[in-house]
Structure 1
């Protein structure tokens, strides 16, 4: 029998697809201009601050002050966010639901803006099935900061050494391991299934 009693899933790029380039293919059709915009204006570093709890209003105002000519494209990030998450990964969701149906303790830990997570939960019903979720934007902490792992443990009464975390980001996997968790790097459902089997699960 596995000594793992708690399984914690990341969400973006593990259970649902996320790609901010999708709406910008029609907002900025030129490949070079679109690449420049996403690398220099609405960057990953800028977006992660919304995951940490910064409001979209403040985030947009900051960029518009720096790039006034890009105002419409900047506002387009939130307006078109729903296009960035076009579908779930059905094979990963099937694993999640199998674990829950088999009686295992499943929660979620995600870097996600608070308002967009509410939207995601309305669109993807399976996000309501785990026992609970820690959303970075709701608590002002983000992975891989140690504090968010400790907060999740406290919130859901987990034992770190008996917890297995699944995330597509290697630095977030390392963060979980440094917090005393077991953790696996997600690259696809087939590998995840093998990883879970190696920990004694039947999926």
Structure 2
């Protein structure tokens, strides 16, 4: 590590550490055309918009009446089912990521979490994949803090809580705007694709595993 300015690596959860698949939760339980619409980028039923509100700190009980009013009695229970069975949308850790965390720790690097996630469902990730809690030294969760990526405040909170200097940190996220947010506070933000690419990106910054 003496030849590298990087001392710590911060990881997003969904799409980086965990495979997040709404479709995996809903398929077989609801009409396929409805599932396809919900999982489409232009989802007319707004599932991801409602989930974003939960990630920002709102309670499901506060949001659900809006879902009923805006989407109707046929669609709203599907959203409730999705939240209630959220673990089914997390079928696996992404390949190679547990090994990457272990290799970083073994070589003396700090490993941390920073995720946009509801305070009501984040426990599912740690219960289903306890190795994440064992390997990460700490995690900042948007729904608990009521602040969220890509806003600067959550990155600054993470740095303060973890006791880190921005310029010595790498942050992996699968969403471009969240990388921009990290870069704007001085963190080396890197767009995540897969574990091999992440290792190559770290190596380009002098991280030796």
Q: Kindly report which structure 2 residues correspond to 1:132-147, keeping only aligned pairs within 5 A, or say none.
A: 132-147=138-153
Point out the more displaced range, 46-55 or 72-81. Answer: 72-81
Point out the more displaced range, 34-43 or 47-56. Answer: 34-43
Unaligned runs of 5+ in 2: none
Secondary structure, aligned partner of 1:166: strand
Match of 1:71 among 49, 65, 76: 76
- Residue 197 of structure 1 deviates from its aligned partner by 1.0
The number of residues matched between the two structures is: 202
Point out the more displaced range, 35-44 or 142-151. Answer: 35-44
Task: Confirm or deny that 1:121 pairs with 2:126.
Answer: yes
Q: Which residue of 1 aligns with 2:8?
A: 6
Tell me how far apart the structure 1 counterparts of residues 36 and 94 of structure 2 sit (CA, whole Å). 26
Task: Confirm or deny that 1:87 pairs with 2:88.
Answer: no
Match of 1:184 among 187, 190, 193: 190
- Residue 23 of structure 1 deviates from its aligned partner by 2.1
- Residue 37 of structure 1 deviates from its aligned partner by 4.1
Task: Confirm or deny that 1:103 pairs with 2:103.
Answer: no
Q: Which residue of 2 aligns with 1:200?
A: 206
Structure with the largest fraction of helix: 1
Tell me how far apart the structure 2 counterparts of residues 5 and 37 of structure 1 sit (CA, whole Å). 40
Tell me how far apart the structure 1 counterparts of residues 143 and 51 of structure 2 sit (CA, whole Å). 11
Match of 1:50 among 36, 54, 70: 54
Query: TM-score scaled by structure 2?
Result: 0.91
Unaligned runs of 5+ in 1: none
Q: Structure 1 residue runs of 4+, over 3 Å off?
A: 35-38
Query: TM-score scaled by structure 1?
Result: 0.93
Secondary structure, aligned partner of 2:93: coil
Give yes or no for contact 2:95–2:195 (8 Å, CA) kept in 1. no
- Residue 76 of structure 1 deviates from its aligned partner by 1.1
Give yes or no for contact 1:6–1:104 (8 Å, CA) kept in 2. yes
